[in-house]
Amino acid sequence: MGKKRNLYLKTIPVEEAKEKYMAALGVLIEPKIETIDVRNSLDRITASAIFARYSSPLFNASAMDGIAVKASDTDNASEAAPVVLTEDKYLVVDTGDPIHPPYDAVIMAEDIVDVEEGVRITASAHPWQHIRPIGEDIVAGEMILPSNHKIRAIDIGVLLSAGILEVDVVKRPEVAIFPTGTEIIEPEDKPEDGSIIESNSRMFENMVTVAGGIGHRFPPIIDDYEQIKAKVSNAVDKFDMVIVNAGSSAGTEDYTVHVLRELGEVIVHGVSIKPGKPVILAVVRGKPVIGLPGYPVSAYIGFENFVTPVIQMMGKRPELLTETLDAHISKRLVSSLKYKEYVRVKVGKVGDKFVAAPLARGAGAAMSLVRADGFCVIEQSSEGVEAGEKVKIELYRSKSEIENTVVIIGSHDLILDVIADIMPNEYKDMHVTSTHVGSMGGLMALRRGEAHMAPIHLLDEATGEYNISYINKLFPKGAASSEPMALIKGVHRIQGILVKKGNPLGVSSIDDLAKKDVCYVNRQRGAGTRVLFDYKLKEAGIDPADINGYDREMATHMAVAAAVASDGADAGMGILSAAKAMGLDFIEVAPEEYDFAIPAKHLELPHVKAFIEILKSEDFRNRVEELGGYECDIAGEVVML
Amino acid sequence: MGKKRNLYLKTIPVEEAKEKYMAALGVLIEPKIETIDVRNSLDRITASAIFARYSSPLFNASAMDGIAVKASDTDNASEAAPVVLTEDKYLVVDTGDPIHPPYDAVIMAEDIVDVEEGVRITASAHPWQHIRPIGEDIVAGEMILPSNHKIRAIDIGVLLSAGILEVDVVKRPEVAIFPTGTEIIEPEDKPEDGSIIESNSRMFENMVTVAGGIGHRFPPIIDDYEQIKAKVSNAVDKFDMVIVNAGSSAGTEDYTVHVLRELGEVIVHGVSIKPGKPVILAVVRGKPVIGLPGYPVSAYIGFENFVTPVIQMMGKRPELLTETLDAHISKRLVSSLKYKEYVRVKVGKVGDKFVAAPLARGAGAAMSLVRADGFCVIEQSSEGVEAGEKVKIELYRSKSEIENTVVIIGSHDLILDVIADIMPNEYKDMHVTSTHVGSMGGLMALRRGEAHMAPIHLLDEATGEYNISYINKLFPKGAASSEPMALIKGVHRIQGILVKKGNPLGVSSIDDLAKKDVCYVNRQRGAGTRVLFDYKLKEAGIDPADINGYDREMATHMAVAAAVASDGADAGMGILSAAKAMGLDFIEVAPEEYDFAIPAKHLELPHVKAFIEILKSEDFRNRVEELGGYECDIAGEVVML
């Protein structure tokens, strides 16, 4: 093998790692302070208590529009015996005007009548009435804000009115970020075989901002021990913290841990967390230096667990609390006792319960983080959770947003993206979320009460009809366990065989797929496309065993199209819009009906009503026609079953 | 009177005003779009859906460190019958390396043994094992983000790895802010009699930021119709929205509404909201122009209710939801049917219930907003709430912060500020909040279960002892309604008479106060200082009626000191530190004991324990000694009663 591998890593539990590292840093780190203009201090943390320089109001001030008087001049005035004050006895004042001796009371404009000699009043004024005494709001010398306070807009107003122009605040920690790796390229570079677009550092830069720091991202360093050492060492002198990305797994090109051992002390290497294990927590010349794994999800979770708390500590910012929610997990999750595991989930409210559906668990699945509504955290001490079990979810989206979301589980189609895009634009604070498990998977999710609706396209081989017979079979009418169902009509779409541009193998029908040189890529069991494919194979009298790649399953049309576009496969079954999106050729096989199965009771939900309105809208139809391969004349019609 | 007054205002309910205005704007406002670098797109709102340009991974990639093989070469390998692959049959790969034909599987490094001819394996590999297929995470053409999505750090990472360098986002609305008023000065100017430091515009500027816009604050405009008209008209052409501050009440110098009627259409003038009534909602040449009242609290509430929603609509940002909480209101609040009223409250958790204590209700009391933990909103349809009634609080601070706060109600002393400042610094996420109602008020609050502790300094005239007899009287031992109490020892402090610098009236004792030319300012009934003053008057045989100003009551030592420093009063009773803070002379009267009464059960709370530790700390003692007039040898000692 030749190459040296770092086969290693005794991991330690997350909490222990964090505690050990924070303890090591705690004695080293003293927050830095800077003096800034109050006007630019929003969201900064006060470094010391702030005391008022002036009182507010600055003087005894009228609290009303009216006249300033000497209270003793008004004694005994009443409706029965009004008193007339001559002009030398009062002063017209507006709200906020100063009141000086001899005046010691204000009478409201509404309570006086102009007369020739001056004004007539019909009630006596008591001393200090309608006067805001000096310092009523703020007294000079009074503490306005304590230290360690996050400055808000209202604080800025009050500080200025108390005569404070500058404040001492905690400096934002400056964090240097180094991507490493010979194979990584910048996003603007043209990717070649084996290239990985460097994006973690830009995610980090923004996560630093969210944590209250200032990120400085440096160009990628190639996998060279001396270069990494020189740059990290230099950065330690100039910044408050250093992050080195990748180079922290057990791969052959991982120098970070060796560099950090040479430059300083590695406190922790390897944490019992999944994804995110190969984290390096080091201290170099009194500064925190953290190595994070290269896989985006590992990088994210490592950052949240170890970098964020350090930045918050240095910036004296409080931890941001994540909203949590109890939800029922939609499927069994097995987890190792070796790790605390972060499983990304989609969360929806169906009926009166929240349901969490796990997303892809791979460390590379960055989109699963984008799609996620939150994390289901499985503690290291747990071997997992059973389907239907109640779990605590750390939320990314607000609970109210989740409550206004249509939860769709079933077959994938690009029109779902179109709907998801239109929804929040046209219907304030309403959303659509979809998970792709195929048509049968969608109906099963409906049965378990995990979704509002299931997009399906299931051909009944006996009748040639779509969808309805499957619903009736799974939700038998009159059965106690069952409930009234409906079908929201969706689109007609063309299914076909996707082949590489120019159709180099000359595939023209299902029959050609059995040829030995065609490498096929299939859809998963329960997908409508798989049902159609199996039906067509049977019709043509072909044994699935004769299809090379029949067992290679993809979860979406687009994944099939991507596989065909690469050198991994020659053909797959899918829809025209997927072929167009990936620049593939398309051999038409059959039209089919793609509809939405829905328990009738959900039809009344406002977000489901909005969903139906979108299907009927001009905007939706125009955008779907642009995709190609669809017909949507009756989209949005509701059929009660 | 001469001056023209705007005695006016038929107000309309808040919700109606908002609806009417948003409807008027809704047809006019089209969000603007700009294209920006993805790297700088944190927290921006997508203007359209974003689709992946590249797939991720870009190629079929190894998911492990190991070797790439042809699966068919490994058939039948087992522990019993290992297979040796020669060097031409495999390729060493690291995680992320591309896998090309003929290789179609990866075997993990851990599962191979180096031998002379190559590597030995003991299990067969199935096709595509440990390979991440192209597009596994993101498929080119797939929608990554829908429109109207707030971009997060993780989104930035995924966008870049999908080859997206620029995004279309909704432009931040640009808001012009004009302070008006002849009496207002800039914070850096030296205040003169009648000056008001202009600070609202800076608060607005930062509130615009929070709402997602960009604020542009202009120098104050004097009260001149033509000037206001010219500047507003000009700003309407250049900005997306204009705010004019002050000039919206019924005062004599209010031109804004006339200017806006001339320039465009005033949709609403006067809203049934308190504070905040004199709001002007106008449209000028298709742009929103809002006039806000000058009092800071009115300005804040007017902004939150009317400006924030408009900026959010223009910027397509979701409303920020305020956390709410059910709390028991500590005292009766009467509210008019003419208004929806926003009462600022302090909220604490005492025992197992949340208690909300109303703060100053005046529109000028900006500090009450700074001190507030939230608003108790009294709907227009309600005449108020009874003491102890459950109310909904819109929170400013998080619930968890409130749960970790020591709630102090009672007598005021500057050492409370010192403790409030030390607490969050030394004890992460713990806080102190204090409300000043005097010693007796504090004990009553303890009885009602509204506070953890009450700072008191109550002299027992019979025994000359402080505090304990009052607690025993209010919490009689053994009574069913009562509970075990304790006293946390605080400080000894000197009470005295505060007089102007140089003591121009030559006050040397309580007796001198009865002289007709001394204008006194008193503390409120139930304050320990008032008890002491009354005791001293009695001792000296002086009738309170002979004290000029006996009825003028202030709530804190600092307020008394401020009154004495102004031309409103000559003398008041208070503590040395208040005299020092305001540069006053001080005539010693008597030392007294300022301690903390506390139900014994609260002594176990972690934040109360922290409070006691602070009293005992070096830091506290040093800072209190600096204030002057204190002795704190036994601070922090606990006496069980």
Query: Which residue among B1, B141, B154 sits closest to A114, beta carbon to beta carbon?
Result: B1
B262: alpha, beta or left? (left if phi > 0; alpha if psi -120 to 50): alpha
Chain B positions touching A400 (Cβ under 8 A) are 321
- Which whole number is the average pLDDT over A246-262? 72
Residue B567 to residue A5, Cβ atoms within 8 A: no
With 80 as the cut, is the pLDDT of residue A249 above it? Answer: no
B391-421: pLDDT as tens digits: 999 998 888 889 999 999 999 888 999 999 9
Residue A425 to residue B148, Cβ atoms within 8 A: yes
A264-274: pLDDT as tens digits: 999 999 899 88
| Dihedral sign computed on CA atoms, order A445, A451, A457, A459 | positive
Radius of gyration of chain B from its Cα atoms, rounded to whole angstroms: 35
Q: What is the pLDDT of residue A247?
A: 58
β partners of residue A245: A179, A292
pLDDT band at A600 (very low <50, low <70, confident <90, very high): very high
With 80 as the cut, is the pLDDT of residue A475 above it? Answer: yes
DSSP character for A516? T
Q: What is the pLDDT of residue A291?
A: 94
Q: Helix, strand, coil % (nearest 5) of chain A?
A: 30, 30, 40
Residue A249 to residue B429, Cβ atoms within 8 A: no
Q: Compare A127 and A167 and report the one with higher pLDDT.
A: A167
Helix (H, G, I), strand (E, B) or coil at A528: helix
Q: Compare B483 and B250 and report the one with higher pLDDT.
A: B483
Chain A positions touching B191 (Cβ under 8 A) are 54, 58, 163
A401 CA to chain B: closest CA distance, Å?
10
- Which whole number is the average pLDDT over B620-636? 92
Which CA distances in Å does B218 have to A411, A628, B115, B215?
A: 56, 53, 79, 10
- Which whole number is the average pLDDT over B49-55? 90
DSSP character for A602? G
Q: State the best of B131, B160, B627 to mutate against chain A, taking most chain A CBs within 10 Å.
A: B160
User: Which tokens sit at A525?
Assistant: 């069991």
Residue A135 to residue B563, Cβ atoms within 8 A: yes
| Closest residue, chain B, to A207 (C-alpha) | B153
Size of the A and B interface in Cβ pairs below 8 Å? 365
Range of weakest confidence among A161-170, A397-406, B307-316: A397-406
Residue A206 to residue B94, Cβ atoms within 8 A: no
Chain B positions touching A563 (Cβ under 8 A) are 133-135
Residue B253 to residue A94, Cβ atoms within 8 A: yes
With 80 as the cut, is the pLDDT of residue B265 above it? Answer: yes
pLDDT, chain A, mean = 90
With 50 as the cut, is the pLDDT of residue A4 above it? Answer: no
Q: Is residue B561 a contact partner of residue B578, using CB atoms and an 8 Å limit?
A: yes
Distance separating alpha carbons of residues B417 and A202, to the nearest angstrom: 42
Measured at the alpha carbon of residue A376, what is the angle toward residues A375 and A378, in degrees to the nearest 5?
130
Share of chain A above pLDDT 90, in %: 60
Residue A420 to residue B146, Cβ atoms within 8 A: yes
| Closest residue, chain A, to B298 (C-alpha) | A154
Q: Is residue B221 a contact partner of residue B227, using CB atoms and an 8 Å limit?
A: yes
Report the predicted TM-score, pTM, of the whole model to 2 decimal places. Answer: 0.89
pLDDT band at B299 (very low <50, low <70, confident <90, very high): very high
Residue B558 to residue A200, Cβ atoms within 8 A: no
Which CA distances in Å does A34 have to A175, A176, A205, B568, B575?
A: 17, 20, 22, 39, 34
B255 CA to chain A: closest CA distance, Å?
14
| Closest residue, chain B, to A413 (C-alpha) | B142
Share of chain B above pLDDT 90, in %: 60
Residue B158 to residue A98, Cβ atoms within 8 A: no
Residue B251 to residue A144, Cβ atoms within 8 A: no
A57-92: pLDDT as tens digits: 888 888 888 999 998 899 889 999 999 999 999 999
pLDDT band at A435 (very low <50, low <70, confident <90, very high): confident
- Which whole number is the average pLDDT over A513-531? 87
Residue B210 to residue A127, Cβ atoms within 8 A: no
pLDDT band at A499 (very low <50, low <70, confident <90, very high): very high
Residue B101 to residue A417, Cβ atoms within 8 A: no
| Identity of residue B337 | L
Range of weakest confidence among A141-145, B7-11, B282-286, B590-594: B7-11
Residue B203 to residue A420, Cβ atoms within 8 A: no
pLDDT band at A3 (very low <50, low <70, confident <90, very high): very low
Residue B133 to residue A568, Cβ atoms within 8 A: yes
A349-390: pLDDT as tens digits: 999 999 998 887 777 788 888 989 999 999 988 888 988 899
The closest of B91, B94, B117 to B104, measured between CA atoms, is B91
A381-431: pLDDT as tens digits: 888 898 889 999 999 888 888 999 999 999 988 899 999 999 988 888 899
Q: State the best of B359, B427, B558 to mutate against chain A, taking most chain A CBs within 10 Å.
A: B558
CA A253 to chain centre: 33
- Which whole number is the average pLDDT over A602-617? 96
Q: State the best of B45, B56, B254, B342 to mutate against chain A, taking most chain A CBs within 10 Å.
A: B56
- Which whole number is the average pLDDT over B268-281? 90
Share of chain A above pLDDT 70, in %: 97
Query: Which residue among B65, B163, B420 sits closest to A250, beta carbon to beta carbon?
Result: B65
Q: What is the pLDDT of residue B555?
A: 80
| Identity of residue A251 | G
pLDDT, chain B, mean = 90
Q: What is the pLDDT of residue B8?
A: 47
Q: What is the pLDDT of residue A477?
A: 83
| Closest residue, chain A, to B62 (C-alpha) | A194
A90-134: pLDDT as tens digits: 999 988 888 888 898 999 988 999 999 999 999 999 878 888 888
Chain B positions touching A365 (Cβ under 8 A) are 136-137
Neighbours of A10 (CB within 10 A): 7
Q: Compare B478 and A123 and report the one with higher pLDDT.
A: A123
- Which whole number is the average pLDDT over B126-130? 84
Q: Compare A27 and A586 and report the one with higher pLDDT.
A: A586
With 60 as the cut, is the pLDDT of residue A1 above it? Answer: no
Range of weakest confidence among A162-171, A595-604, B330-339: B330-339
Query: Which residue among B160, B203, B318 sits closest to A154, beta carbon to beta carbon?
Result: B203
Q: Is residue A178 a contact partner of residue A235, using CB atoms and an 8 Å limit?
A: yes
With 50 as the cut, is the pLDDT of residue A248 above it? Answer: no
Residue B38 to residue A202, Cβ atoms within 8 A: yes
Query: Which residue among A59, A165, A554 sits closest to B188, beta carbon to beta carbon?
Result: A165
CA B29 to chain centre: 31
Query: Which residue among B96, B110, B251 sits closest to A183, beta carbon to beta carbon?
Result: B96
Rounded to 10 degrees, the C-alpha dihedral B185/B186/B187/B189 comes to: -70
β partners of residue A485: A599
Chain B positions touching A193 (Cβ under 8 A) are 59, 98, 100
Residue A563 to residue B38, Cβ atoms within 8 A: no
Query: Which residue among A133, A370, A561 sits closest to B158, beta carbon to beta carbon?
Result: A370
With 50 as the cut, is the pLDDT of residue B7 above it? Answer: no
Chain B positions touching A68 (Cβ under 8 A) are none
Q: What is the pLDDT of residue B435?
A: 85
With 70 as the cut, is the pLDDT of residue B108 above it? Answer: yes
Distance separating alpha carbons of residues A524 and B277, to the nearest angstrom: 63
Chain A positions touching B424 (Cβ under 8 A) are 146-149
Chain B positions touching A199 (Cβ under 8 A) are 156-161
DSSP states of A480-509: TT---EEEEEEEEEEEEEEE-TT-TT---S
Chain A positions touching B115 (Cβ under 8 A) are none
| Closest residue, chain B, to A164 (C-alpha) | B187
Residue B564 backbone phi and psi in degrees, to 5 = -70, -35
Query: Which residue among B48, B251, B367 sits closest to A138, beta carbon to beta carbon?
Result: B367
Q: Compare A240 and B9 and report the one with higher pLDDT.
A: A240
Distance separating alpha carbons of residues B435 and B372, to the nearest angstrom: 11
